[in-house]
Structure 1
Amino acid sequence: MEFNSDLLKNLVKTFSPSGNEERVRELIINEIKDYVDEIEIDNLGNLIARKKGSGKKIMIAGHMDQIGLMITDIDKKGFLRFTNIGGISSLLSISQRVIFENGTIGVISNENVEDKNKLKLENLYIDIGAKDKEEAEKKVNVGDSCVYLSEYYEEGSRITSGCLDDRIGCYVMIEALKRLEGTNNDVYFTFTVQEELGIRGAKTSAYKINPDIGIAVDITGTGDTPKSKRFAVGLGKGTAIKVMDKSVIVHPKIKEAMVNTAKENKIKYQMEVLEYGGTDSGSIHLSREGVPSGVISIPTRYIHSPNETINKEDVENSILLLKELINKEFNL
């Protein structure tokens, strides 16, 4: 299938930091509304799209939010102080451009310190070109959020962009849904909020849906760059089937079903044992009395930067695996 570059471009350029997912949610609704039977937005803002069936109740989850910054103070010279929304690196943030919802652009810089490796967020500030506090407050207020400003770049099989975490997971879900001709299972495509702040949206939506099975779709790191931590996952080696991360040990029957499905359909895959991080499955599998859960992971380099990098073939294999899993008859 041809890669839908326009859809991914629209997803990654849509301003939606944690707690402000409305814009990307509307974009997703417009993409999927003709392919599902029901659409609901729950109290926390999760988008739940149901494809009806009489089989197992399956919750597919990918998060809509992206990491960002929130303004905590504006000094008398018009410089902005901020806190993090999710996993922001102080060192990586230096000299990055950021953009606010109203289009205001700023540059992150730092106070003079002897050792930049010891920088904390409190040592950083955003310069929006204001001459004083009064001028700054005409553009930005305390409590406003911003995100890294990045560009979408695609060449051959490689894509580089900001917030592929987890817009690429949303992309995989949307494309799998569009390819479904029907399903025996009762499937809830759930686009969650505030994952970057502690997998919050997945917790409330899983409680509401009460699924038999949970499958998260998210990114994972790689171990294929120079002197990286030893890790078997690499770009171009296929979709990653998670075994474990810090939030979940995948249910053995779900892991087995995913591996068997990949083998039966000649889908290129690799096994993922992640020693850090987590996904929506971390909340789903602990919902109510427990939900057998797994994760489809898209290998990604330079996570939580403006230049996250993925391989289109890995994305396609992730779509194929999700599509086949949706139609699978699970015996738990």
Structure 2
Amino acid sequence: MSNEAIDLELLRNLSEADGIGGREREVSRIVHSYAQPYVDNIYYDNLGSIILKQNGINKNGPKVMLSAHMDEVGFEVRQITEQGFLKLLPIGGWWGHVMPAQEMTVTTNDNKKYIGVIGSRAPHGLSDEVKNKVMKPMSMFLDMGVDNKFEIEQMGIEIGNMITPNIKVRQMNNPNYLLGKAWDDRFSLGAELEVMKRTSVMDHEATLYFTGSTQEEVGIRGARSAVHKIKPDLAIAMDVTTAQDTPLDDRNVDNLGKGVVLAVLDSLTIANKGLLYRMKRLATEQKLDIRYDFMTVGGTDACNIHKAMDGIPTMTVSMPTRYMHSPRLMVNLDDYKQTITLLTEFCKTLSEKDVSLFKETTREALVDKY
């Protein structure tokens, strides 16, 4: 595995940036700034996905798309009450249990930021029926600590403004563990940019497209437009998967810090078997730890990429995270480093003749090649 240093400041900047579906500009600016020394062209599609093109040594080499989404789950301002409370509209999936008493950041149209707290109740005197009931996100509100609606309007807060968790990145007691918001999918986005940085000083036959997609959490939308812009020969989606290694699950599945996760399938995509076998072989050669993911609920950018045009050979490479779709997620740098090593080797070694192999449809034909 590569001993190259990990850019923790990049991860911090990506995590702490605010960017829900349709409001990813703050994140894409970080990506744009970081990528400039390492790519030959930077452009966008009409949904705001950023595409970073890195030329290969062969002009006719395969076009490879890596995709990690920039958006996080969050909220928009749905209503401003006369008392100055903000009613919430969830953008992406939220479970009511993880929301009460959390600090949130409201970002105005002119990029001013204000902190509020989601209202919660004291348990004293509440009936068991109320205490055992999960509050629905649509019933919640943000307390901005003001007297009335007029003060909210003076702050420049309007209907439709973005609301995100107010969380700073923290290295935990074991510094390989990182706590922060938006690791779904900024952890993968950071890994993608690290791969881009490494391949920039390598001779690779493929033309590489590193994509920061938009609106994944609200329907996997940005990847659909980006893939039509790129028209790749094959694609790798990068996303997180749910760790099940805490007392909440007690299943010892997708533990943090145990290496690369290859997604065999999810509810929306079946991995291209040629890509899956190639990743397995490369991981073995690099002496990486391999795990396999079978996520029966949810999907990744691969969902809309693999169905584009006449079909794109696609798979997902994942990293586990605890406490997904909550204000605070936990990830592990060992998984990050191994994923970067695997995808760098994949991009470096891919040749034009490989593409036809990935398009083979029978397992027997593929086993002979891999």
TM-score by structure 2 length? 0.86
Name the SS for the 2:338 alignment partner. helix
Q: Does residue 200 of structure 1 match 2:210?
A: no
Aligned with 1:107 (options 87, 109, 117)? 117
Residue equivalent to 1:242: 263
Aligned counterpart in structure 1 of residue 80 of structure 2, from 58, 69, 74? 74
SS at match of 2:154: coil
SS of the equivalent of 1:114 reads: helix
Structure 1 CA distance, aligned partners of 2:160 and 2:230?
32
Query: Which of 28, 33, 36 is equivalent to 1:30?
Result: 33
2:89 pairs with one of 83, 102, 105: 83
Q: Provide the residue aligned with 2:368 in structure 1.
A: none
Q: AA paired with 2:113? A: G
Letter in 1 for 2:169: Y
Aligned to 1:297: 318
Q: Distance in 2 between matches of 1:114 and 1:190?
A: 45
Instruction: Choose which of 159, 163, 166 in structure 2 pairs with 1:146.
Output: 163
The Cα of 1:169 is off from its aligned counterpart by 0.9
Partner Cα separation in structure 1 for residue 168 and residue 93 of structure 2: 20
Contact 1:91/1:116, CA 8 A, preserved across alignment = no
CA deviations on 1:146-187 (whole Å, 9 max, x unpaired) are 101112111321111111111111110111111112310121
Largest Rg, 1 or 2: 2
Q: How does 1:42-57 map to 2 (within 5 A)?
A: 42-53=45-56, 54-57=60-63
Shift in alpha-carbon separation, 1:42–1:227, aligned structure 2, 3 A? closer
The question of whether the paired residues in 2 share the 8 Å contact of 1:72 and 1:81 is answered with yes
Deviation at 1:232, TM superposition (A): 3.0
Q: Deviating runs (4+, > 4 A) in structure 1?
A: 110-113
Gap runs ≥5 in structure 1? none
The amino acid that maps onto 1:198 is G
Contact 1:233 1:299 in 2 (8 A): yes
Partner of 2:11: 8
- Unpaired stretches in structure 2, ≥5 consecutive residues: 359-370
Aligned-pair distance for 1:3? 2.3
Alpha-carbon distance in structure 2 between the residues aligned to 1:239 and 1:97: 33
1:242/1:273 contact within 8 Å kept: yes
Q: Match for residue 193 of structure 2?
A: 174
Whether contact under 8 Å (1:269, 1:317) holds in the other structure is no
Partner of 1:93: 99
Q: Which amino acid aligns with 1:160?
A: L
Match of 2:42, as an amino acid?
Answer: I
Q: What amino acid maps onto 1:98 in structure 2?
A: M
Question: What does residue 265 of structure 1 align with?
Answer: 286
- Alpha-carbon distance in structure 1 between the residues aligned to 2:105 and 2:85: 15
Secondary structure at 1:297's aligned position in 2? strand
8 Å CA contact 2:85–2:149 kept in 1: the answer is yes
The whole-number CA distance in structure 1 between the counterparts of 2:154 and 2:104 is: 17
Deviations 1:243-300 (A, max 9, x none): 1112211111111111111112212221111122211111101111111111111111
Which residue number in structure 1 is paired with residue 145 of structure 2? 129
Pairwise CA distance, 1:67: 1.0
Indicate the percent of aligned positions where both proteins have the same amino acid. 32
Compute the displacement of 1:110 (Å): 4.4
| Secondary structure of the structure 1 residue equivalent to 2:82 | coil
Q: Give the deviation of 1:318 after TM superposition.
A: 0.5
Aligned-residue CA RMSD (Å): 1.6
- d(CA) in 2 for partners of 1:295, 1:152: 26
Which amino acid in 2 is paired with 1:288? M
1:119 aligns with 2:135: yes
Residue 276, structure 1, aligned to residue 297, structure 2: yes
Q: Partner of 2:236 in structure 1?
A: 215
Contact 1:78–1:132 under 8 Å retained in 2: yes
What is aligned with 2:361? none
Correspondent of 1:251 among 261, 272, 285: 272
**Separation of aligned partners in 2, 1:243 and 1:132:** 53
